[in-house]
Every structure is written in C-alpha cells, then in structure tokens.
Amino acid sequence: MSPTRSPAAARTLTVCVASVGGLLFGYGTGVIAGALPLVTADYGLSSWSQGAAVSAALLGAAGTAPSSGRLADRFGRLPVIGTAAGVYAVGSLVSAAATGAASLLAGRFLIGLSLGATSFAVPLYISEIAPPARRGSLVTLNQLMITVGLLLSYVGAYALEPSGAWRFMLGIGIAPALLLLAGVCLVPESPDWLRSRGHDARAATARLGLGPADGPAAVTVRRGVGLRQACALAGRRSVALGLAIAVLVHLTGLNTAIYYAPTILAAGGLTSAGGILGSILVGLCNVLATVITVLFLDRWGRRPLMIGGLVVMALTAAAITAAELSGHRGAVTALLLCLFITAGAVGPAAVFWVYIAEIYPSEARGALMSLATAAHWAADFVVATTFLPLVQHLSLAGTFAVYAGITGASALVLAQYMPETRGRPLVATARPASAHVAE
C-alpha cells in the first residue's frame, strides 16, 4: 500500500479488497437460482436433485468451516482468504465445463469449500482491523457485497435466460475470484493475528498503516486456542448463543427465499422470465436494505435490528401464507417476498456476521467463529435441501407458515438472551455478553 495514503483511506481500501469475498459469496450462492431451471431442462432433475444442485455448495461450506478457524489462526487470515479465492475459481471452471449432473455438483461443492472459508475469514479479518465505532458498518460492507453479488447473479440470469447460457452464468465467477486472489497480495495481514504469533514488528507496521483499532486493549490479544479451551473460555451459554443465532438465521427461510426466488415467484403465478425479473427486484431490495444497515448498524445497535428484523419477517411470512391461501398471488407475493428479504437483510443476515466476531474472547474467536459458521452452513444446507419437497407436500403457503412460526419464536428467544455489543472493543465485548448469559 502507498506510504502516503492516510490510515483511514488504507483501512477502507483494505476492507473493500477483503469484501470481494462477499461478492463471491453472493454470486456463488445466488447464481444457481437463475441457472437451475436451465440445468433442469438439460438434465431432467427431480425436486430432490434440484435441491442437491443448490445444496452442494452449502454442504462444501459446512465441511470447510470447522477447520477454517484453525487454519486462520495458524497461517493467518489472508492466506486462508487467498486460497479460498483460488478454489472458487477452480470450482467455477468445473461448473461451467460440466458434462453432466455429477460434474456440476462437484464444481458446486468446490465453490462451497471456498465459501465456507471466506464467510468465516473475511468478517474476522475486517473486525480485527476496524475501530470499535465503525466495526459494525465496516463488517457489514462484506454483507453489502454479498447482496451485490446476489443482484448480479439475478441480472445475469435475466440477460442470459433466453439463450440458455447457464455455463456462462456459472463460469463468470472466475473473474472476481482472481481479483480477490490478487488483492490479498496487496493488503496487510491482521495486526492482531501478527501480534498473537509474536510478529510484533510486522504488527506495528500494519497497525501504523491501518490506524488504531481497539487501542491499547489490543495488546492483550493472545494466540488462538483449540475448540475445547475456547468453549471453556467463552462459557457454555455464550457458545450456545452464537450457535443458536447461526442456525436461526436459516431456519427463518431467508436464504431459501433468495436461492429459490424465481421458483417461488413462478409458483406465485408469474412466468419463468417474470420470476427471474421479480428476483431482480428482490435483489435490489436486498442491496438497498443492506445499505441502510451499513449506515445505521453502529448507531442503532445489533440487538434492535436483529429482533426487529425477525418480527417483520415473521409477520411477512404469515402474510405470504395468507396471500397464497386467498388467491392473491403474483405481484402480491413478489412484493411480500421483497419485504421478507428486506427485513432479513436489515436484521439477521447482516447482524449475524458482526455479532459472532464480537461475543467471544479474542483467543477463542477463531475456533468459535468457525464452529458457528459451520453450524450456519449446515443449517443452510438442511433448509435449502428440504424447501422444494416441503412446497410439494405442504404447498408454498404451508411452507411459509412454518417459517413464520419459527421466526416468531426466534425473536422471542433472542429478546430474552441476546446482549448488545455495539461500540465495544473486541477484547471487551465477550465480558458483558458472558455476564448477560452467564452460567
């Protein structure tokens, strides 16, 4: 980085580079929504096979996440992000060149391995270089890039759907992957990680270039520990809180609404092309809602956005159920789906990644964030795999009724047990959280 660049500018540039990992996340998970009808036409996929095509990436992510913390603690945050970018590029190439369902699933699985690592390492890296007053907004830039990636995947699907060019949809992900791979060579490693490994001189240089993060308290950062020690340090209820939030984000049905947006809208009465066009509207709402979150997360706090978002999601899911049962479908379902995803983007989708970087002691953060990320992806896999079979057996109305019940219950549980972490140094956030949910 240029020595003449101010620390604030250097930090912003570094966050932007790392957030390309969010773009990969969004495009990698969203592109299958537009490609799936075309792949199904080519291969005659059943509903379970379609679920597998969506879930192969999620399964790969759930497999990578448990080891990501150990790897990031041992080798550094940037090597994990860079390696994941390379794997993503390979997975995109394999998916685009697929000669059958098996090779397509293999490519999607490789992409999932990459997503499991970046979804953990990118928020962790950003949280460690960000000052407390801006940590929420800077970490949420990664979530904003996720929504941009999703929107780009929808726009690409709409543009390419008439020609049936699903291979190009899947292959274009190589470009941002290579951009991220090049970018991590140009930004500094996390000063906190460097200090924890005894590289004090390099840590001081990196911190000088990026500006202060957690101030004097940052010197207390210690080397990461194993999972058993991490659980003991954080306390069982703090660990349970992180795992519960990780799972509840997906049990709301938020990501299935994103992955299957064209399918849901088509089931609601729109044409196939109309479903994809409607998904672009959904993607725009997602981006705009995340921009709001970036601007206000550090002002309003994590707890109000999480709980408020869940309440609105529960009410909207119930409204989708009512609309489907009453026959008011099509445009009404599209608008309600936009509101459902908007509430999720403002609340659980954005808050989760910030929150799990804040509630654990610094030396336990790598192990416990990777555990929470693994649970997050595993829940995503289960919910995404079962969505279409649920719709077949319960109807779209019945499926969203289930989501409404789960989401409403989640809001009640978190209202009781979720503490606020806004504006506190990373080394301090775990103490109030543990006190609030202590054994």
Backbone angles phi, psi at 422, to 5 degrees: -60, 135
Digits of tens for pLDDT over the chain (439 positions)?
Answer: 555 567 777 888 888 899 999 999 899 988 887 787 788 788 777 777 777 777 888 889 888 877 887 888 889 999 999 999 999 999 999 999 887 778 888 999 999 999 989 988 998 898 888 877 777 778 888 888 988 998 998 888 888 877 878 899 999 999 999 999 999 998 999 888 888 888 888 888 887 777 665 544 444 455 556 778 888 888 888 899 999 999 999 999 998 887 777 777 776 666 666 667 777 888 898 899 888 888 888 888 889 999 999 999 999 999 999 998 887 677 788 889 889 999 998 899 888 888 887 888 877 877 888 888 889 888 988 888 888 889 889 998 999 999 999 999 999 999 999 988 876 655 545 444 444 443 3
Q: Hey, what amino acid is at 108? A: R
Rounded-to-integer distance, Cα 155 and Cα 268, Å: 20
Give pLDDT, residue 433: 47
Where along the chain do its domains lie? 7-436
CATH 1.20.1250.20 assigned to domain 7-436? The reply is yes
Give pLDDT, residue 438: 37
Cα dihedral across residues 153, 55, 369, 91: positive or negative: negative
The closest alpha carbon to 173, from 189, 142, 152, 198, belongs to: 152
Give pLDDT, residue 266: 73
3-class DSSP state of 235: coil
The closest alpha carbon to 34, from 174, 175, 163, belongs to: 163
pTM of this structure: 0.77
The closest alpha carbon to 425, from 127, 118, 35, 69, belongs to: 127
Rounded-to-integer distance, Cα 155 and Cα 111, Å: 20
Residue with tokens 């992957």: 177
DSSP letters for 7-55:
HHHHHHHHHHHHTHHHHHHHHHHHHHHHHHHHHHHHH---HHHHHHHHH
Measured CA distances, 218 to 120, 363, 430 (Å): 21, 12, 14
- Quick one: tokens of 324? 């489907």
The closest alpha carbon to 337, from 435, 256, 438, belongs to: 256
